[in-house]
Chain A
Amino acid sequence: MDELLKLLKHNALETPKNLARMLNTTEEAVKAKIAGYEGAGIIRGYQAVLNTDLMDVELVRAVIEIKVTPEREGGFNRIAERVSKFPEVESVYLMSGTYDLMAVVAGRNLKDVAFFVSEKLATIQGIISTGTHFMLKTYKNNGVLMEAEKTDERLKVSP
């Protein structure tokens, strides 16, 4: 992967000036490259990684396993796109194995999510069955530890 993308994946708020220093190039070159990645659709967005367990919000997430009958000429794509359009759905993946699509769904409480799955997802034509697994606690998300202990036990000065 391009070093610029690695740096942005690590910290999307990094300034072009600092990126240029780290990559031994100019600010303009960094800006142009980022614009190129955005234009090409490689960079799809910039988000904060939140530890929602610490926030005073009502939020539950579930992983939904979905079995689908693939359509002639459409395969899984059309149904996956329909599932993706719901704002309640955070992510959708096509999977290998015993089920076909995996969706991450967020709602205010268990009832909300369960209702959404039974009323909205399970009723889509082509979806054969769903299995709902609620997430209880997040330890690591997007490569970021939720309870990172920042310890540096090194001596302050050493040879």
Chain B
Amino acid sequence: MSVSKSHPKSKRKPGDFIAKHLLDIPRSGIRDFFDIVSSRKDVISLGIGEPDFVTPWHIREQAIFALDRGATTYTSNRGLLELRQAISTYVGEMFGVKYDPETEILITVGVSEALDLAIRAIIEPGDEVIYHEPCFVSYAPEIRFAHGVPVAVSTTRDNGFRLTRAMLEKKVSPRTKALLLNFPTNPTGATLTQADVEDISAFAIEHDLIVITDEIYSELTYEGGRPSIAAVPGMKERTIFLHGFSKGWAMTGFRLGYACSPPELSEAMMKIHQYIMMCAPIVSQKAGIEALKTRTDTEDMRLSYQKRRNFLCAALNEMGIPCHVPKGAFYVFPYIGDYGLSSKEFALRLLDEENVACVPGSSFGECGEGFLRCCYATDIEEIKEATERMARFVKRLKGSSSSST
């Protein structure tokens, strides 16, 4: 029997046990907004960050078949070799860079895990990581979990939220170790040109940086190709390429991603992965093998998204909300800064008055202020209704601002 010892100091409350570096990290702004939205009824949501398609049937059917055959075990830590081979072929064909399935590909639980592994494998306390904003909400917190220092580069709408070498040069320091890229970008839908990618590669080589490139939206590129920095000569050895099945194949719930990198880096990530995760779920891996057998699934969905993107951009511009036409992902990022409201106020009033949910741009970094993120992976009939409501809302805002001035 244990005997409780008396402690000289006053006892810690539950909150006192929390690691200090965690306390400084704010909750995701999206989470707060989610709580407000989910308390309401009959909301049309353009605030969702995942496909509205259900995973194509042949992939689901294969997952069912795998379960039927008793696929309920662990796999090797790296993941099923057959899946790694399929990924090697796919990445080679689509991105023009060849990875060895035995030593350079690691299957993970979504790209989220792959990103965490990549950062933890390379970052030491105090190392700076440059990333571009507005961006996916996880980047800065994950860098800080690894005791790194996130350094944000602001991108702007005047060049379609592209990232240029000149912007990066302003932020680089002797402590900079890594550059984190996400193109096509959530939330702006920005893409890079081949020239951009080559410029950024030259920057990374000159400053001796490693690049982590999260290309989860690459199948959803509508114009201008999908150049990957990993394919630029001299970049494979300093790049960790992250990809997965969630967006292109509408497989978010399968939680299946992968990291491709030189063997030494892959082994380092593998070390963390084997201790914290063991392996990705086997049923998801079996589904992933099936997903890579055809190339038509992603293309059909891409064409469907493209029409909805065109519709949403046209409708927003017509109602007086300026909106650049993003070349990738499934978000538009319109400018609402001319209405005298912060992006959060705008989003809350839009929700309150018209029951349409869009995510405030400020959730994706300071330079996202003045913008909204609207996701068009939503039924076209809902997008139509949402844009009619938004047009009504904007008309009222214009009326009230002109009468007050």
Contact A22 B37 (CB under 8 A): no
A1-39 contacts to B (CB < 8 Å): 3, 7, 18, 20-24
A154 CA / B380 CA spacing, docked (Å): 16
Contact A152 B52 (CB under 8 A): yes
Q: Which residues of B contact A155 (CB under 8 A)?
A: 34, 38, 48
Known: A3-B303, A156-B38, A158-B50. A22 touches B311 (CB 8 A): yes
| A5 CB to nearest B CB, Å | 13
Contact A7 B30 (CB under 8 A): no
Contact B52 A154 (CB under 8 A): yes
Question: What 1/0 mask marks residues of chain A from 63 to 87 whose CB sits below 8 Å from any chain B CB?
Answer: 0000000000000000000000000
A159 contacts partner chain B, Cβ-Cβ < 8 Å: yes
Contact B48 A21 (CB under 8 A): no
Known: A3-B303, A18-B384, A21-B315. A158 touches B48 (CB 8 A): yes
A23 CB contact (under 8 Å) in B43, B45, B310: B310
| A71 CB to nearest B CB, Å | 42
B28 contacts partner chain A, Cβ-Cβ < 8 Å: yes
Closest residue of A by beta carbon distance from B379: A152
Q: Which residues of A contact B49 (CB under 8 A)?
A: 158-159
A155 CA / B137 CA spacing, docked (Å): 16
Among A24, A152, A158, find the residue whose CB has the most chain B CB atoms closer than 10 A. A158
Contact B47 A22 (CB under 8 A): no
A158 CA / B359 CA spacing, docked (Å): 9
Known: A3-B303, A21-B315. A156 touches B48 (CB 8 A): yes
A11 CA / B232 CA spacing, docked (Å): 44
Closest residue of A by beta carbon distance from B186: A159
A157 contacts partner chain B, Cβ-Cβ < 8 Å: yes
A65 CA / B48 CA spacing, docked (Å): 50
Contact B310 A156 (CB under 8 A): no
A159 CA / B182 CA spacing, docked (Å): 14
Question: What 1/0 mask marks residues of chain B from 35 to 53 whose CB sits below 8 Å from any chain A CB?
Answer: 0011000010101111010
B106 contacts partner chain A, Cβ-Cβ < 8 Å: no
Contact A159 B137 (CB under 8 A): yes
B136 contacts partner chain A, Cβ-Cβ < 8 Å: yes
Closest residue of B by beta carbon distance from A24: B310
| B147 CB to nearest A CB, Å | 23
Question: What 1/0 mask marks residues of chain B from 341 to 378 whose CB sits below 8 Å from any chain A CB?
Answer: 00000000000000001010000000000000000000
B138 contacts partner chain A, Cβ-Cβ < 8 Å: yes
Q: Which residues of B contact A24 (CB under 8 A)?
A: 310, 314
Q: Which residues of A contact B137 (CB under 8 A)?
A: 159
Q: Which residues of B contact A18 (CB under 8 A)?
A: 311, 384
B78 contacts partner chain A, Cβ-Cβ < 8 Å: no
Known: A155-B34, A156-B38, A158-B50. A21 touches B314 (CB 8 A): yes
Among B34, B43, B136, B138, find the residue whose CB has the most chain A CB atoms closer than 10 A. B34
B310 CB contact (under 8 Å) in A22, A154, A157: A22
Q: Which residues of B contact A157 (CB under 8 A)?
A: 30, 33-34, 37-38, 45, 47-48, 357, 359
Q: Which residues of B contact A20 (CB under 8 A)?
A: 314
A23 CA / B311 CA spacing, docked (Å): 8
Contact A154 B48 (CB under 8 A): yes
B308 contacts partner chain A, Cβ-Cβ < 8 Å: yes
| A75 CB to nearest B CB, Å | 36
Q: Which residues of B contact A7 (CB under 8 A)?
A: 307
Contact A156 B307 (CB under 8 A): no
Q: Which residues of B contact A22 (CB under 8 A)?
A: 307-308, 310-311, 380
A140 CA / B361 CA spacing, docked (Å): 42
| A12 CB to nearest B CB, Å | 14
A20 CA / B318 CA spacing, docked (Å): 13
Closest residue of B by beta carbon distance from A151: B54
Contact A156 B136 (CB under 8 A): no
Question: What 1/0 mask marks residues of chain A from 134 to 159 whose CB sits below 8 Å from any chain B CB?
Answer: 00000000000000000010111111
Q: Which residues of A contact B384 (CB under 8 A)?
A: 18
Binding site for B on A (CB under 8 A): 3, 7, 18, 20-24, 152, 154-159
Known: A154-B50, A157-B38, A158-B34. 10 other contacts (CB 8 A): A3-B307, A18-B384, A20-B314, A21-B310, A21-B314, A156-B37, A156-B47, A156-B357, A159-B28, A159-B138
CB-CB nearest 9 A-B residue pairs:
A21-B314, A157-B47, A22-B307, A157-B34, A21-B311, A24-B310, A158-B49, A22-B311, A156-B37
27 A–B pairs (Cβ distance < 8 Å), ordered by A: A3-B307, A7-B307, A18-B384, A20-B314, A21-B311, A22-B307, A22-B310, A22-B380, A23-B307, A24-B310, A24-B314, A154-B48, A154-B50, A154-B52, A155-B38, A156-B37, A156-B47, A157-B30, A157-B34, A157-B38, A157-B48, A157-B359, A158-B34, A158-B48, A158-B49, A159-B49, A159-B136
